[in-house]
Amino acid sequence: MSDPEIEACLSQIAGARERLGLVLSDVKEGRVLNPLDWREWVRKHPVECTLGAAAAGFLLAGSAGPPREDGRATILDDFTRAGFETALHLFLKTLL
Q: How far is 33 from 25, CA to CA, in rounded Å?
A: 11
Q: What's this model's pTM, rounded to 2 decimal places? A: 0.41
Q: Rounded to the nearest 10 degrees, what angle do helices 46-61 and 75-82 cross at?
A: 80
Tens-digit pLDDT profile for residues 10-66: 999 999 999 999 888 877 776 666 667 778 888 889 999 999 888 887 777 766 566
Q: Identify whether the C-beta of residue 60 lies closer than 8 Å to the C-beta of residue 72.
A: no
